[in-house]
Structure 1
């Protein structure tokens, strides 16, 4: 809730939606250290109210300059992670000092604020600094994130000193105990540097030097030079259309392809909650993931058919392969987007560092029509678990988002961005605006896109659109919310889906945590909603 309060405070002070999202994000870096942080990354879609301009700020990680395609030894004795890529021996791409890639969170948020915010950066960061000065009481959410990584935390003394108490789990507030508090004073110092100096307060000087020193002392490859060279990818994407609404996904090809496929079907006529709709959503997601995981590569570093993956013509061709009488054979075979490809020439693209080599979400809208949707992440809970001494910074573990096989589209290369596969959705038609973001790994796509479909295709109010049960598919199993009726589940199985029923309990986040805001173009009414309720908050002033 502190994140929501920080964003609303910026609006009360006369700031805009970009100020609100940046304030909420930096506050999140303090109060959700398991989900996001200044050592992480994200994607931000925004609309500038006075001009109607849509801007995407892709501030995903990049591989360090010393990264190599074969830098990790593979361990085929373990099941792949949710990306489908092999695990690395000793899980070195997942925790420890080889796991961090070059973080983009601070650069992306500062770039967006510098160009489109209205308040001073120091003012926008005030709530985050206050939260860090106060220290963070241990909560059940934090404990749920910490427990699965307890053994790894104990291997890293800096992380253990912050998160544990003499090697044991910290206390959470209960009937007879006060919660242990995490000391965030060092993080407060880092935030003050950023407030005073902007992005250079993180990417140069003492913070960058401390990061390099800690990484080098333990055999890692991330350097101060990598940090200094980082630039976000700033895009003026050509919006696509869904049911007449123009939309962007912040350069997420999975989101584009799935919506391109669904746009070819009359979902409204099939009925909200019907087996046909859930079937097509699962098929569209499955195709989009199968295609992107096969073909996506960073176009700043090497040729890749990213335009083809997002092409409406490719989506139409994929839709022609779908049937309401049967599911595609599993695993879904990838299709070839190259015949539909074009040059990667986003309008007004800003600089990116092509020469070098756990997740949360914040969305906001204001009366002037400014809107922003952010996904921000460390990849896993507390990222790599590398806590940099003197800074309070947990570094991401996003090197696991690359395919550790050499010679593949998403293989490691210096300066390269790995596949992301999760959309920040911003849709609009004149003064009507829908903006959404989510958390929960690749389940973000399921959450954000189905909330959008529920609102646009079926006319559900925002709260109901987010609360409806969802399905998810990445080309193999179809994961189905247990609230979906047995008749619908049985029909999906008859169609050929490998149905796996899941409940969206605390700690699982089986179908994504989603936050969304809307503005009605006719009445000007603004609405906000977030769910599931046990892990989210929303507010309107």
Structure 2
């Protein structure tokens, strides 16, 4: 017996249009902090610095000062884009022999590398790479910031002093990593009770349960007073290195002091009658260019929404592009891994834009806390293949290849800044949104609410069950297709955030299923 059921549940995040600046971020408080910076006369880059550090406090398991990332910057007065990549690097003293391969099995987290004994490349002190987020933020600020570094860190310091609010979503995320967090005494002391339960005793939906982040607050205060160089050459650096080495890691003062970031010319992608600017190296930017280049020859857009032919082309182009990426660039993260990154996009009232992605790599990074600084450390070493002789094999003093894909796009009188979190699912989401807004001229709100699919290298295509039966049927002709819902946790698809400017009017939107994400506009400006 066949049944056709109709469903009435819908979820929407309405988009507001304003002449003022807009910040779209995975945490609404961070978006509010960025919007307040814009309201005070700050540049989009100023807001990005404030949001970056705030996100490290509000979502510490996703990103923070001890991580890495990349950003795209658009300067309206110059009509020019800038790329900045500040990914993590392996320490100079790293010894590949410290990561012996197990006899069998695959790694326990995002990447299907051969398993390392005790997963030392996945979590723990040996998995910690040289962080780049502070260098990236400060490089952008030195070039384009208007407000002082000191002032921009104050909102994050205030949030850290207040402590991490453990609501239902935070409790869920912490619970998902309890076993891994229990392995590090300092991480367990911060996030767990009795080393085995999330710190949520006595929690109710209306409670104000908070985790103390006092050490993190002290570090941010030191960073605000002494400046970003302290993270790489000063007291913060010394404390962080001492803690990591005491736990057995390779990180050194030389690693931090020699870390540097420079602006690059963006990767320019011409796509039909639009143009996209992406990060050129060690990110998913080149794979996005490959995908869009194939799509341009596969179908001709028609109508207001992508049809079955368009989605077939999306799938074919993604599969081919990822085959190329996996054989030449070497990153092979599992397509169903949890979202463990954060992205935010900003446009100010003058039209300057920032698309910024930052990460610790895994959820909670290395699951190691630097006790002297309160910093949750990255596990960037997991980005490398522990087996010798491959394009991305583990080696000392080597840059990590990331999946981040911040983008600035334009068509006609519309310009947008988009990006996402979600590992290898990031680039397909950016591709979909770019196509929706350029091939079909979708409004930002409609593009973010339109169902998507993912074909980023797994055995099956993952399709939103809200795609039409015709599209699902077409995708199934040449592929194994698994349909699923867009859910709150874990994410089946990437978690994007974007802003758009059209005729001097700005707007923003975030992933509709992100419980904390929102777009916030500066107050006191015409909306």
The bucket for the TM-score relative to the shorter chain is: 0.7 to 0.9
Aligned Cα root-mean-square deviation (Å):
2.2
Give the alignment of 1:154-173 within 5 angstroms: 154-167=182-195, 168-171=197-200
Counterpart CA distance in 1 for 2:259 and 2:394 is: 17
Residue-by-residue CA offset, 1:158-177 (whole Å, 9 max, x unaligned): 00111012333221785477
| Structure 2: distance between partners of 1:366 and 1:216 | 42
Distance 1:238 1:42, change over 3 A: closer
Tell me how far apart the structure 1 counterparts of residues 106 and 389 of structure 2 sit (CA, whole Å).
22
Correspondences of 1:242-261 after superposition (within 5 Å): 242-251=271-280, 252-261=285-294
Equivalent positions of 1:30-69 (< 5 A) are 30-69=57-96
Higher relative contact order (CA 8 A, sep 6+): 2
1:316-372: per-residue Cα shift (whole Å, max 9, x none)? xxxxxxxxxxxxxxxxxxxxxxxxxxxxxxxxxxxxxxxxxx211111011222110
Using the TM superposition, name which of 142-151 and 422-431 deviates more: 422-431
Are the equivalent residues in 1 in contact too, given 2:82–2:264 (CA < 8 A)?
A: yes
CA contact (8 A) 2:346 2:353 kept: yes
Q: Deviation per CA, 1:239-258, whole angstroms, max 9, x where unpaired?
A: 22123333222122222211
- The answer (yes or no) to whether the contact 1:190–1:202 under 8 Å persists in 2 is no
* Residues 44, 57 of structure 1: 8 Å contact kept: yes
How far apart are the structure 1 equivalents of 2:189 and 2:209? 13
Does residue 1:465 correspond to 2:465, yes or no?
Answer: no
Q: Deviations over 1:134-183 (max 9, x none)?
A: 11111222222222221121121100111012333221785477343111
- What is the rounded CA distance, in whole Å, between the counterparts of 2:304 and 2:113 in structure 1? 37
Residue from 352, 355, 372 that aligns with 1:370: 352
Match of 2:428 in 1: 446
Tell me what 1:145 maps to: 173
Tell me, yes or no, if structure 1 residue 126 matches structure 2 residue 154.
yes
* Contact map agreement 2:508 2:519 (CA 8 A) in 1: yes
Q: Partner residue of 2:507?
A: 527
Structure whose residues are more often strand by fraction: 2
Deviation, 1:227, is 1.2
Change (3 A) 1:85 1:253: farther
Name the structure 2 match of 1:408.
390
Pick one of 95, 99, 114 that aligns with 1:72.
Answer: 99
Which position in structure 2 is the counterpart of 1:183? 212
Structure 1 residues 91-138: Cα deviation after superposition (integer angstroms, max 9, x where no partner) = 211110011111101100111011111111111111111111111111
Q: Superposed, which structure 2 residues align to 1:303-382 within 5 Å?
A: 358-382=340-364
Could you tell me whether the CA contact under 8 Å between 1:378 and 1:397 is conserved in 2? Answer: yes
1:536 equivalent in structure 2: 517
Deviations 1:3-25 (A, max 9, x none): 10111011111011111111111
Identify the match of residue 227 of structure 2 among 198, 207, 214.
198
Matched, 1:484 2:467: yes
Counterpart contact for 2:42–2:147, Cα < 8 Å = yes
How far apart are the structure 1 equivalents of 2:98 and 2:315? 35
Indicate if the aligned counterparts of 1:254 and 1:421 stay in contact, CA closer than 8 A.
no
Q: How far is the alpha carbon of 1:187 from its aligned partner?
A: 0.9
Contact between 1:513 and 1:535, CA under 8 Å: does it hold in 2? no
Aligned length: 480
- C-alpha offsets along residues 294-324 of structure 1, whole Å, 9 cap, x if unaligned? 21279xxxxxxxxxxxxxxxxxxxxxxxxxx
Q: How far apart, in 2, do the equivalents of 1:531 and 1:80 lie?
A: 28
In the alignment, structure 1 segments of 5+ residues that lack a partner are: 299-357
Q: 2-side partners of 1:170 and 1:179: how far apart?
A: 12
The corresponding residue for 2:20 is none
8 Å CA contact 2:101–2:115 kept in 1: the answer is: yes
CA contact (8 A) 2:409 2:434 kept: no
Moved more, 17-26 or 425-434: 425-434
Distance in structure 1 (CA, Å) of the matches to 2:111 and 2:204: 41
TM-score (norm 2): 0.86
What's the CA shift for 1:265?
Answer: 3.5
How far 1:472 sits from its partner (Å)? 0.9
Give the whole-Å Cα distance in 2 for the aligned partners of 1:375 and 1:108: 11
